[in-house]
Structure 1
């Protein structure tokens, strides 16, 4: 095999790292070197932590379904809630409960967040708060969060980045009036968190609690099709 082919294979096998994570990986690596100088077993622990940090900030490409009306998950993780819930007031989506799909991300999931639909960002609202376990229902109301409202062809979708127990930084890459494609990256959360999706009234979620989602790929609702009456059981 030619050297160019080997190099191409290595690049293909490597998962891209988001630029936001480079400084953290560098800090972890420096600490690992210092720990090696102090005591070798500590150095190996530092090395493992550095590898974990690199994996945390991985930024893989995704293949997003683009049929009209599809809503895809904005986060990798596990669906922890599917219910009717009142959206955060700062989003301006009204006071009536809307269909909500919440996805919990643990510290091993990809934490780059993606737009559930194609559309225009009509509102971004940051709210300071607590750092409760993001898996708890009250985290939606009490925790630090950053909400986006995306105007799509089938109505407005609310997407809320929620900090978790160890998360201390929500990053948003877009601004109001920006246009997003379905599955396009718009932010990330460090380190372990949750993303809530608020769907238009009458929408039927197509995922169930306990189901694993892939950001930008897993379809969580179809706004252009009638409800199909599906239900979910845990096996």
Structure 2
């Protein structure tokens, strides 16, 4: 490996959505640093964190029929039945939902959990509650996608959080995505919900750490029909 390759690999790429924020942070650092040296160093630390937040590292996505991959880095905060958002038109009954909470230190680039055609993109304005709360799925600002592959349809929902104030989606209805392909980003701290077909058996547990584009959430070839229909526990 050449010296140039070694230096290149030492730096994680930054997503294009982050460059305006990095520029603003750097300019602010130079301005306040002109008046007070200590503030300059604090500003540099903040700028470095902004660069870190918008990092976009390459990922190696497992390629196998039926696999559903994590769309986000973070920690699993919910595994169980939940009613999908009405605007996705997935089901009127509860489906298996896996929620992944992203804190401000996680990579926030979102990746498609499954390859297929995007048949629905639905945005809904809402509140900015703590994304770890279960009611955030219903009350918070969100953007949902339905990805269809043959007879299989899954939903993936970007949910804004307490600090997040901007959901970015790169795909439109009718487009085709590959598993692990970048489809969006949320600023700053948020959550992703994935809704699965009936009978899906999850391969993750509460508290487990996810890696977007790499961690397997479920294998749709492995089903448990006797566990359906799912219902909420009162």
TM range (shorter): over 0.9
Unaligned runs of 5+ in 1: 228-235
State the secondary structure of the residue aligned to 1:66. coil
State the secondary structure of the residue aligned to 1:204. strand
Q: Does 1:43 align with 2:68?
A: no
Q: Does 1:82 align with 2:79?
A: yes
Distance 2:145 2:56 in 1: 21
Distance 1:77 1:66 in 2: 22
| Structure 2 length-normalised TM | 0.94
CA contact (8 A) 1:172 1:186 kept: yes
CA contact (8 A) 2:68 2:113 kept: yes
Q: In structure 2, which of residues 57, 70, 73 is the aligned counterpart of residue 73 of structure 1? A: 70
Q: In structure 2, which of residues 210, 215, 219 is the aligned counterpart of residue 218 of structure 1? A: 215
Residue 225 of structure 1 and its aligned partner are, at CA, apart by 2.3
Unaligned runs of 5+ in 2: 225-234
CA deviations over 1:190-232 (Å, ceiling 9, x no partner): 00000000001110111011000000100000001245xxxxx
Equivalences for residues 113-124 of structure 1 within 5 A = 113-124=110-121
Q: Does 1:148 align with 2:181?
A: no
Q: In structure 2, which of residues 19, 26, 29 is the aligned counterpart of residue 29 of structure 1? A: 26
| Runs of 4+ more than 6 Å apart | none
Aligned to 1:136: 133
CA contact (8 A) 1:69 1:154 kept: no
Distance 1:96 1:43 in 2: 55
Equivalences for residues 189-228 of structure 1 within 5 A = 189-226=186-223
**How many residues of Structure 1 are paired with residues of Structure 2 in the alignment?**
224
Residue 98 of structure 1 and its aligned partner are, at CA, apart by 0.3
CA deviations over 1:134-167 (Å, ceiling 9, x no partner): 0000000000000000002451110000000010
Equivalences for residues 94-109 of structure 1 within 5 A = 94-109=91-106
CA contact (8 A) 1:98 1:199 kept: yes
Distance 1:43 1:223 in 2: 52
Distance 1:190 1:203 in 2: 30
Distance 2:39 2:205 in 1: 42
| Structure 1 length-normalised TM | 0.93
Root-mean-square deviation over aligned CA pairs: 1.1
CA deviations over 1:66-90 (Å, ceiling 9, x no partner): 1100000000000000010000000
Residue 5 of structure 1 and its aligned partner are, at CA, apart by 2.2
